[in-house]
Chains A and B, each alone.
Chain A
Amino acid sequence: MAKVIVVTSGKGGVGKTTSTAALGAALAQRGEKTVVVDFDVGLRNLDLVMGAERRVVYDLINVVQGDAKLSQALIRDKRLETLHLLPASQTRDKDNLTAEGVEKVIDDLRKSFDWIICDSPAGIERGATLAMRHADVAVVVTNPEVSSVRDSDRIIGLLDAKTKKAENGERMEKHLLLTRYDPMRAERGDMLKVDDVLEILSIPLLGIIPESTDVLRASNLGTPVTLSDVSCAPALAYRDAARRLAGEQVAMTVPGERRGFINKLFGRRAA
């Protein structure tokens, strides 16, 4: 059964696109057919992070408007044959994205993929609401700081009100993906702690991705972090998150928890 996932956050720059690529690659590595769909019309980035920017011929808008067939617009990843990209248009107006058109594309994708991962634009406008509209599951990407948490809270409210599932009276499954988590700064109180974020948002935790230069390096190389350096901490965290999405039980590790404990001891002694 195909599952449609929306990766959303409200706030920009928290790591939606990076997370879409990393989760998509991790699910594809399991051998399941996966497509990542860029909904950020006019500000597309997913093609860059996936390293496919020079292979874009047709895009989501072309398919929505019937100028191209879905199979023509889909780009198969060169590293993983189970991974595909449906890029956004960089030049077209986002008003070309219609509710009916998007529904048809998603329905077609459901026929041939196991996972459809939609990368939502920032904000709460049309693009974001269209990206979430047909989702079965939402991954809410949040940084451990107050503005990101509040925006995520707003998005969760919209997920419960403006999606097809909500309108049918069903419950949208929502998961929190905490990104750019820096255990040292959380310990010092410069950042919200995991428990604080969970307490405010009250949705289940999918994973905690540590702040790492590996993520930035992978993005710049055009490789999802789960493909570039399979053993680095963020890649492991994303892979665990993907396994949890697929329904596996994986124990949650809070980055630097042991180090945090030792810091506490030293901190007390110093004081």
Chain B
Amino acid sequence: MTKTISKQLTDTRPIRLKGRSFLALVLSPELPFSNWLERLDDLAARSTGFFLGRPIVLDVEGLEITQADLKELLGELGERGVRVMGIEGARGSLIGPNMPPLMKGGRPAGDIEPEPAPGPAAAATPATSSAPEQAAKAEPRVEVHSQRAVSSIVITEPVRSGQSIIFPEGDVTILGSVASGAEVVAGGSIHVYGALRGRALAGSVGNASARIFCRKLEAELLAIDGLYKMPDDMDPKHRGQAVTVWLEGDAIKAERLA
């Protein structure tokens, strides 16, 4: 990074601005907020610390709210430890001075999955020179390359209670069981060659085609692409069986593996 401050502009090299894409969880609040917050609390109570330290973007598209409403909502979220890094789908007038910035050009994170590599979410390029434009274009290619290099991991030990395996880059394979109170979060699919007794969250970065496979289903929570299912909602005939779990529209489906 080069920084040159000079009134005469003796050094004409432009300031380099880099584009970089990050994955964020997107929360889409619904009216009335009090009801939505209650449901959020319920979710947070089931998965303690779920939002802790994760970047969150608030999608307010289509909501008829005022700046005061938004401010109140941000306050409520702040109290719950949910830190909002940006707001999507809002009119410019909705964003007050001390609020997170308006974000545009977000894409479902599924597009960031290994194969075809689109550019970063926002590549800002000063018009003074064409050089930084090339730099900005070159940048994401390197990143995508590194993503491609590690698109799956294999865990050879059982995942114990209290441990969490978080791998947003791709698939997670576990040679062993996932204990009650343990958590596996994968950007892609989750394969458990043992009993799945803890939580499994597949396609966590917006990949609806992700699946969960396990030898023995006794999970405390199953989620794909943000849609989740608790044990009570699961078909009892799959309990203790080897199953595959996938998403069909907005429904989580399961089927016994032969």
Chain A residues near B (Cβ < 8 Å): 146, 150-151, 153-154, 156-158, 160, 199-200, 202
Contact = CB atoms under 8 A, between A and B. Distances in A.
Interface in B138-170: 157-158, 160-163
Given A160-B157, A200-B197, A153 B176 contact: no
11 contacts: A150-B161, A150-B180, A153-B160, A153-B179, A154-B161, A154-B162, A154-B181, A157-B160, A157-B161, A157-B163, A200-B179
Contact of B176 (A150, A154, A157, A202): A202
Contacts of B195: 199-200
B177 A156 contact: no
Contacts of A156: 160
B157 A153 contact: no
A150 B179 contact: yes
Contacts of B181: 150, 153-154
A150 B161 CA distance: 6
A167 to B, nearest CB: 16
Main secondary structure on A side of the interface with B: helix
Main secondary structure on B side of the interface with A: loop
Nearest to A159: B160
B161 A202 contact: no
A154 B177 contact: no
Contact of B177 (A146, A150, A151, A200): A200
Given A154-B161, A200-B195, A202-B158, 5 more contacts: A146-B180, A150-B180, A157-B160, A157-B162, A200-B179
B45 to A, nearest CB: 18
A8 B163 CA distance: 18
A157 B163 CA distance: 7
Interface string B163-195: 100000000000011011100000000000001
Contacts of B179: 150, 153, 200
Contacts of B162: 153-154, 157-158
B180 to A, nearest CB: 5
B131 to A, nearest CB: 47
For the complex of A and B, the 5 pairs showing the least CB-CB separation, nearest first, are A157-B160, A153-B161, A154-B161, A154-B162, A153-B179
B182 to A, nearest CB: 8
A160 B160 CA distance: 10
A154 B162 CA distance: 6
Contacts of B177: 200, 202
A151 B160 CA distance: 10
Residue from the set A146, A153, A158, A200 with the largest chain B CB neighbour count within 10 Å: A153
Contacts of A202: 158, 176-177
Contacts of B180: 146, 150, 153, 200
A66 to B, nearest CB: 36
A158 B180 CA distance: 15
Nearest to A203: B158
A146 B162 CA distance: 15
B158 to A, nearest CB: 6
Contacts of A158: 162
Contacts of A153: 160-162, 179-181
Given A200-B177, A202-B177, A154 B197 contact: no
A202 B161 CA distance: 13
Contacts of A200: 177, 179-180, 195, 197
A202 B194 CA distance: 11
Nearest to B180: A150
A160 B161 CA distance: 12
A88 to B, nearest CB: 26
A146 B160 CA distance: 14
Nearest to B159: A157
Interface string B124-139: 0000000000000000
A151 B180 CA distance: 10
A58 B135 CA distance: 70
A199 B216 CA distance: 12
